[in-house]
Amino acid sequence: MFLRKLFTLLLSLAAITTYSQKNFSYTPENPKAGDVITFTYEPAGDLANTMQKVEAVAYISRPKGQKADELVLTQNGKKYTGSIQTDTSGNLINIAFFVDKKFDNNFNEGYLIVLNDEKGNPKKNAYRNMSQFYQFTGPGVGVEKNNTKALECMEKEFSLYPDTKKIFIASYLRLINTVKKDEAPAIVQKEIELALKQGLKDESDYISLESIYVIAKLPEQAKFITSLKKEKFPNGSWTVNEIMEKYYAETDPVKKKGLLDEIVQKANSDDQNWKAIKENIDYYKLLTVSAYANQKKWDEFKKAVEESSVTDKGRLALFYNNTAWEMQETGENLAYAEEISRMATLYAQGEMKNPTSKKPESMTASQWQKQNEFIYAMYADTYAMVLYRTGSYKKGLPYARDAAITINKENSAGYNNTYALLAEKVLPPKQYKKEIEQFVKDGKSTTEMKDILKRTYKKEQKSEAGFDDYMASLQKENYMKMIEELRKSILNEAAPSFALLDLDGKKINVSDLKGKVVIVDFWATWCGPCKASFPAMQKMVTKFKDNADVQFVFIDSWERGENKQKNAADFVLNNKYSFHVLLDTDDKVVEQFKVEGIPTKFVIDKNGSIRFKSIGFDGSDDKLVQELSAMIDLASGNTPKAF
């Protein structure tokens, strides 16, 4: 039976490889790590028949991390040729072919090349990295998440290199729980029996068995193994986690500083367990400093930063930017917010123009440049908002323009909003009105921009009469375009079945909601874009509160901390949201829906079919309300309301 299953698996993988060669071929046929690979490619999928020049990047997986190489493509008719110099330590190549932000995903297979060792065998961890590709990194190049393929690759890795199973047993069994739910309990139990039979020799054996018991939902057994591990290995790697967990939980700045001193001392010792911590000491120093910010002790905060001796200027700039943004939101110590935001912005501006930091190997030169531009835009937007809060409008406008127009090409509603707020204060109405009107026409506007236009309209017309028609005329073209795109993107996939507890402890089964259009919003309390989208989502909940045929559920997933229910409940209560929150404490439902990032929303029709999937939030409240309203209409079989 085992041989039959293995043969079937190999046939499956061979079929994938053969399928992927229809428009892509390479030599040598079985490349070794270190070889130069030449390839021929003809655009397919979303890039088929494209008139634009295709670009390509090769991502080479290695033990020390992924390396990105920008590829030079030579075009001959419809086909492209190129070459890749592989790394001797590499084991897998993922090639991304793209035009602008659109990828050829090879019919959701990806363009993958396994590298071989000197004996011609696939290198160790090649198929494990392929499993990671189908679970996590694939979506970054347009390949949809596929846990079934991920599991096949993991099993292939184990068949080639059995010793890797113990290392990756936890991620393997989580895949089993997702892909083979009915078989999972028996498989997990078998792994427990095998681990006990082989015996617990070193600390990794105990850690492996701990994780299996946790997956099997046997907490008492897991605790017992943990106690044995601590007794047998009093100075083991577990001590790092225990001290770090205590450090993370501490909120008192003085006590946190005391724990940090202990961590620094251990990190500077010869104990290899602390090596990873040592590489990130600057992060922990700043995390300690942030405890003063959380308590609004700004004098102590400033002193602590000066005494922290942080050497990583990039990390310090990020810390300053994030702190300044929170300060301007609450109006806390704006003079100091301006000081630290300015420092962060000038540093980022310098890095964008003349980088002093080393380019990460995981990025190409152009990707790194774009990242530096993105970082500067983010910091410039923060600085501009701080200056807006302090009334320094003329000083802030150039930075807002850099962020919104020069770098982001008016495509970020959030950055556009900062620019609009400052433009109203600095520019003549004729100029800023035209610019904000364009933001609205492009669907990159916010409620605050609408308010600016209303004020301007009222001054010009001496009345608000006709303003709604004026706004509708601005939004009409983009709205109709949005409807057209939505009609093209309608899905027809069976929604996963699930039952979860809400904040009151009541079990909600999605099957009980059949006959209604259900909007499922995946979120977490730590997710910035999720929280930024909630004012608009509250508008949607209020809009449909009397419609018995529409139901919203907000599924709290990937939540951090021990008391996940309290985290979610406190957040909703403190912000006065009337959301029906369900708790996905085991992160099973978010996995069932194949969510790649949050926020992600699904619109499920009355028959239980997913009709729409929306990922992320671009900062435009108006766009979210319009788009989601149209999705609900279409899922209900209605014609979206036209302007």
Q: What pLDDT digit, counting tens, does each position of 150-192 carry?
A: 999 999 999 999 999 999 999 999 999 989 989 999 999 999 9
Query: What are the pLDDT digits (tens) for 539-584?
Result: 999 999 999 999 999 999 998 877 888 889 999 999 999 999 999 9
Cα angle 542, 547, 549; round to 5 = 130
Distances (CA, A) of 200 to 62, 191, 239: 30, 13, 19
Options 375, 440, 530, 590, the catalytic residue: 530
The crossing angle, in degrees rounded to 10, of helices 281-294 and 253-267 is 180
Tell me: pLDDT of 11 over 70.
no
H helices of 358-412, where?
365-390, 393-401
Average pLDDT, the chain: 92
Q: In the structure encoding, which two tokens stand for residue 220, read together?
A: 């008492």
Strands 550-556 and 581-583, sheet pairing: parallel
User: How many angstroms separate the first and last alpha carbons of the chain?
Assistant: 63
By the 8 A CB rule, do 449 and 416 touch? Answer: yes
Distance CA 472, CA 441 (A): 10
Model confidence, pTM: 0.85
Mean pLDDT calculated for residue range 484-504: 91
Please name each of the domains of the chain with its CATH number: 1-160 (2.60.40.10), 163-234 (no CATH), 493-635 (3.40.30.10)
Per-residue model confidence (pLDDT) at position 611: 95
Indicate whether 500 pLDDT > 80.
Answer: yes
Residue 305, number of CB atoms within 10 A of its CB = 21
Give the orientation angle of helix 313-330 with respect to helix 334-353, to 10 degrees.
Answer: 140
Sequence-separated (6 or more) residues with CB below 8 Å from residue 186: none
Q: Using CA atoms, how far apart are residues 61 and 59, in angstroms rounded to an integer?
A: 6
530 is catalytic: yes
Question: d(Cα 203, Cα 197) in Å, to the nearest integer?
Answer: 16
Contact 540, 580 (CB under 8 A): no
Could you tell me the pLDDT band of residue 640, with boundaries at 50, 70 and 90?
confident
3-class DSSP state for residue 70?
A: strand
- Residue 486's contacts (CB-CB under 8 Å, 6 or more residues apart) are 612, 627, 630, 631, 634, 640
Written as one letter, the residue type at 325 is W
Model confidence at 642, in pLDDT bands (50, 70, 90)?
low
**Active-site hit among 195, 384, 413, 527:** 527
Select from 526, 433, 440, 517 the least CA-distant residue to 477: 440
- The reply to whether 153 belongs to the active site is no
What's at 462, amino acid-wise?
K
Residue partners of 614: CB distance under 8 A and separation at least 6: 600, 601, 602, 603, 627, 628, 631
Asked whether the beta carbons of 26 and 37 are under 8 A apart, the reply is yes
For residues 563 and 361, the model is more confident at 361
Residues 6+ apart with CB under 8 A from 470: 453, 457
